[in-house]
């Protein structure tokens, strides 16, 4: 039976993925620097073996045969998701993938070397090569999938997301934010007049911060028997659902960036830890996509971790671990701090979407050919001045050289961040309708009801639905920017 063959293939591919995920997490957290070369070789060999197995021509035949078999509903959905994965994996010729990998890796290396110096002229030829191949990739994917080129790129990250649906929502959000950011800054200045910002004391030992982080992780639902917390240069959530590896980085001068980072990665981890175990070896059992994943991490970081009710419970926990007493208003002034900045990853939840919308608009131009890489510094600067009133024209390292996404050919990924923030706010609105006392629960350190809701509506659904379908099934309506803007107005407005 062909379904049986696919099922066995799923077990094999999951074993490869398991090994690669743990090797990758280990590399970032525990590997001695001297291990780098051999680790890279081991991982690329394993990745090559996995790719050959996953894209073998006979798998296409197995899928077609399985589609004709008498299967139950669950198996049928599993086969459909096998097909979706297989098509996305095999729609680029091997010759193209090799050419693109070489170009991308050279550009990434150059980016690491030249970004700090802001050497745009030195970096541009490599980026032009990547953009040219990204256009080629988009066209190849588009012809196989029957989508427009940019939609075909987004399809890899968030199945079912289309520019025609997202662009108007982002345009509406942009208009709102350009108007709202100055208002939020004014409201913040007024609050500061009444209550000056109390600086963090600047003495937070790492071992105590780690204990605090672990206590918060456990409280919001992280299963410490199936996951762990380490340190890495860039925080991430990796590993596998039964052994989730999350990381943070500590500063001894303040504790909030690490704690908020831990809550964010815990949100990713909760999704992974609660995916249906019986489907773990099928593509169907994976998390739905990047936007939905980001919505789960942002939900824990923003809807829970920056909620005033959360801090009623959390402040005594902070005091217990760090020996410092804070009032709710004093800590919220830090947790809700808004500031216009040049760097996306440092942005707060009010200004962050403008960074993403800028990239979404520019990369559509890059893929369609309306914009050339050499014109990026001016195009970036114009939008940055229009949206945030800041200029990057003399500092390309703070402009189009700041992210790794374009050098690594990840076009179509940026929208996921802001879609995630909007989905998180929409989930919160649905939860508040169904559980009016949810904030009172947070104030008592109770997160089980909110997790049960998310488990039933999101986590247990794995890849059963497209991203837009999952949003609508979980919250009762299609993606609606009004929930996110209402959230910002309530938290950062007057």
CB of 77 or CB of 297, closer to Zn ion:
297
Residue 170 Cβ, how far from Zn ion at the closest point, in Å? 19
Residue 352 Cβ, how far from Zn ion at the closest point, in Å? 12
Contact 248, 269 (CB under 8 A): no
CB of 282 or CB of 352, closer to Zn ion:
352
Contact 450, 431 (CB under 8 A): yes
State the Cα angle at 217 between 215 and 220, rounded to 5°: 105
**Phi, psi (degrees; rounded to nearest 5) at 204:** -130, 95
CB of 24 or CB of 118, closer to Zn ion:
24
Q: How many CB atoms lie within 10 A of CB 380?
A: 22
CB of 139 or CB of 343, closer to Zn ion:
343
- Cα(374)–Cα(400) distance, integer angstroms: 11
CB of 148 or CB of 232, closer to Zn ion:
232
Residue 265 Cβ, how far from Zn ion at the closest point, in Å? 7
Distances in whole angstroms, Cα of residue 359 to Cα of each of 275, 348, 363, 401, 421 = 31, 17, 6, 12, 16
Any catalytic annotation for residue 67?
A: no
Residue 46 Cβ, how far from Zn ion at the closest point, in Å? 25
Task: Choose the catalytic residue: 137, 155, 265, 272.
Answer: 265
- Binding part of the chain for Zn ion, among 73-81, 200-208, 249-257, 292-300 by CB under 5 A, reads 292-300
Q: Cβ contacts of residue 37 below 8 Å, gap of 6+?
A: none
CB of 83 or CB of 293, closer to Zn ion:
293
Q: Among 296, 297, 392, 461, which residue interacts with Zn ion (rule: CB under 5 A)?
A: 297
Place of tokens 């590399």: 27
Q: Locate 71 and state its tokens.
A: 């299967």
Alpha-helical segments (H) within 299-445: 308-322, 328-335, 352-368, 376-388, 415-434, 438-443
Task: Find the residue with minimal CB distance to Zn ion.
Answer: 297
Query: Residue 197 has what DSSP assignment?
Result: P
Distances in whole angstroms, Cα of residue 130 to Cα of each of 51, 135, 148, 161, 273 = 22, 9, 19, 24, 35
Number of residues that bind Zn ion (CB under 5 A): 1
Q: Give the N- to C-terminal CA distance of the chain in Å, as an integer.
A: 64
Burial class (CB in 10 A: 0-12, 13-18, 19+), 390: middle
Q: What stretch of H or E contains 245?
A: strand 243-248
- Binding part of the chain for Zn ion, among 49-57, 164-172, 297-305, 386-394 by CB under 5 A, reads 297-305
SS3 call for 36: helix
Residue 298 Cβ, how far from Zn ion at the closest point, in Å? 7
CB of 25 or CB of 376, closer to Zn ion:
25
Residue 258 Cβ, how far from Zn ion at the closest point, in Å? 15
Residue 318 Cβ, how far from Zn ion at the closest point, in Å? 23
Active site residues: 265
Interacting residues with Zn ion (CB under 5 A): 297
């Amino acid at each position: 039976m062909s379904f049986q063959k696919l099922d066995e293939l799923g077990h094999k591919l999951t074993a490869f993925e398991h090994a690669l995920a743990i090797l990758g997490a280990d590399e970032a957290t525990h590997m001695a620097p001297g291990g780098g070369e051999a680790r890279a070789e081991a991982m690329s060999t394993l990745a090559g073996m996995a790719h050959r197995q996953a894209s073998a021509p006979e798998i296409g035949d197995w899928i077609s045969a399985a589609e004709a078999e008498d299967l139950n509903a669950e198996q049928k959905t599993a086969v459909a998701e096998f097909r979706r994965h297989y098509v996305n994996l095999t729609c680029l010729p091997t010759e193209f993938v090799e050419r693109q990998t070489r170009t991308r890796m050279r550009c990434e290396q150059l980016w690491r070397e030249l970004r700090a110096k802001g050497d745009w002229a030195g970096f541009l030829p490599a980026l032009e090569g990547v953009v040219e191949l990204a256009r080629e990739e988009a066209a190849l994917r588009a012809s196989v999938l029957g989508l427009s080129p940019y939609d075909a790129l987004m399809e890899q990250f968030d199945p079912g997301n289309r520019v025609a649906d997202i662009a108007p929502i982002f345009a509406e959000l942009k208009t709102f934010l350009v108007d709202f950011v100055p208002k939020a800054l004014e409201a913040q200045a007024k609050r500061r007049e009444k209550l000056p910002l109390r600086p963090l004391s600047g003495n937070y030992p790492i071992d105590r911060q780690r204990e605090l982080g672990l206590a918060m992780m456990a409280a919001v639902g992280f299963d410490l028997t199936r996951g762990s917390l380490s340190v890495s240069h860039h925080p991430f959530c990796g590993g596998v659902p039964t052994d989730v590896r999350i990381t943070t980085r500590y500063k001894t001068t303040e504790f909030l960036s690490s704690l908020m980072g831990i809550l964010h990665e815990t949100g990713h981890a909760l999704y992974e830890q609660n995916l249906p175990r019986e489907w773990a070896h099928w593509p169907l059992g994976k998390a739905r996509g990047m936007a939905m994943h980001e919505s789960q991490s942002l939900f824990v970081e923003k809807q829970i971790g920056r909620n005033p009710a959360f801090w009623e419970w959390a402040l005594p926990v902070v005091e217990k671990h760090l020996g410092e007493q804070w009032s709710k208003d004093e800590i919220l002034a830090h947790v809700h701090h808004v500031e216009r900045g040049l760097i996306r990853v440092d942005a707060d939840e009010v200004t962050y979407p403008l960074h993403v919308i800028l990239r979404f608009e520019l990369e559509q131009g890059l893929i369609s050919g309306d914009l050339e890489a050499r014109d990026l510094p001016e195009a970036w600067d114009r939008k940055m001045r229009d949206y945030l009133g800041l200029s990057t024209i003399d500092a390309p390292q703070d402009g189009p050289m700041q992210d790794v996404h374009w050098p690594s050919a990840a076009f179509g990924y940026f929208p996921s961040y802001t879609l995630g923030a909007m989905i998180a706010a929409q989930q919160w609105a649905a939860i508040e309708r169904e559980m009016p006392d949810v904030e009172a629960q947070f104030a008592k350190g109770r997160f089980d009801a909110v997790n049960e809701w998310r488990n039933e509506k999101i986590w247990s659904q794995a890849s059963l639905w497209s991203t837009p379908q999952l949003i609508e099934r979980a919250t009762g309506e299609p993606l609606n920017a009004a929930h996110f803007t209402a959230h910002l107005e309530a938290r950062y407005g007057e």
